[in-house]
Structure 1
Amino acid sequence: MTDEEHDLTTELEAVEAAWGRAIVDNDAGAIGRFTTDDWQIVGEDGITSRESFLALVRSGDLTHETMSKITGSVRDLGDVAVLTGRGANTGHYRGQAFSSDEWITDVFVRGADGWRCVRTHLTTARDEP
């Protein structure tokens, strides 16, 4: 890994850590500052818009107690970067407890206000057969 790649990985890991803290704090305003206006989460249930996700947090229907992520790789594409890793989180969705172990790919764009996520793709992690 070059120094530049190491620096970008360190920078994006810091962004992801702060974003994770905002999610655990269930702070919709803070969460929104880490995403673009058109951010979407793509998962096994389809596509969730930024506004739908933030509305769930604001209402208390979605809360998180823990959030962790281990970076697997970062791909530097200039003002776009792709971070892939494995993450785990726990919380409640509409009163039901959940626990997730997922492979996560976040696509970030660099703007005047720093790195913001434009897309998140989640895939349930499975143990090897």
Structure 2
Amino acid sequence: MGENPDSGADDAIHAHLTAVAEDWAAAIVSNDAARIASFMSDDWALVSESGITSKADFLAFVESGQLTHSAMALVSEPRVRVHGDTAVLTIRMTNTAHYGGLRYDADEWTSDVFVKRNGRWLCVLSHITAVAPASAEGNR
């Protein structure tokens, strides 16, 4: 079998989406709601152990100062799969958040679904899953 003629394009998208993920992590640590929002589609949602959070609700927590982040790091190689104008980026991340006056240190697997709209990749859905304690050292 020959090489995939789209592999160069996929490699470029992989590198671009990895950079987008890094920039979005920096935006989250900036605690600037407008900057964070620039990475999300209007209908973005976060799925976590507590259910579904809308873009409006997430950004309201940030704007109010009730939710802040002081650290966020990508700690595994990203897995990027491209399907036309849709891509899924899965990566292990750590972060330190402050919510309601309490500090939370998280180690999570995240999957972000991006859609290319008007030449830009915007996230339409984020899903986070806590890393199991037994695998905390083995899956980096």
Q: What's the TM-score bracket when you normalise by the shorter of the two chains?
A: over 0.9
Map 1:1-129; keep pairs closer than 5 Å: 2-69=7-74, 70-126=76-132, 127-128=134-135
CA distance in 1, matches of 2:64, 2:77: 31
Percentage of identical aligned residues: 44
Deviation, 1:68, is: 1.1
AA matched with 2:33: A
Task: State the Cα RMSD in Å.
Answer: 1.6
- Tell me the TM-score normalised to structure 2 length: 0.87
Does the aligned pair in 2 maintain the 1:71–1:83 contact within 8 Å? no
Deviation, 1:102, is: 0.4
SS at match of 1:108: strand
Deviation, 1:88, is: 0.6
Larger gyration radius, structure 1 or structure 2: 2
- The structure in which a higher percent of residues are strand is 1
Give every structure 1 segment of 4 or more consecutive aligned residues whose post-TM-superposition deviation is greater than 4 Å. Answer: none
**How many residues are matched?**
129
CA distance in 2, matches of 1:76, 1:33: 21
- Tell me the TM-score normalised to structure 1 length: 0.94
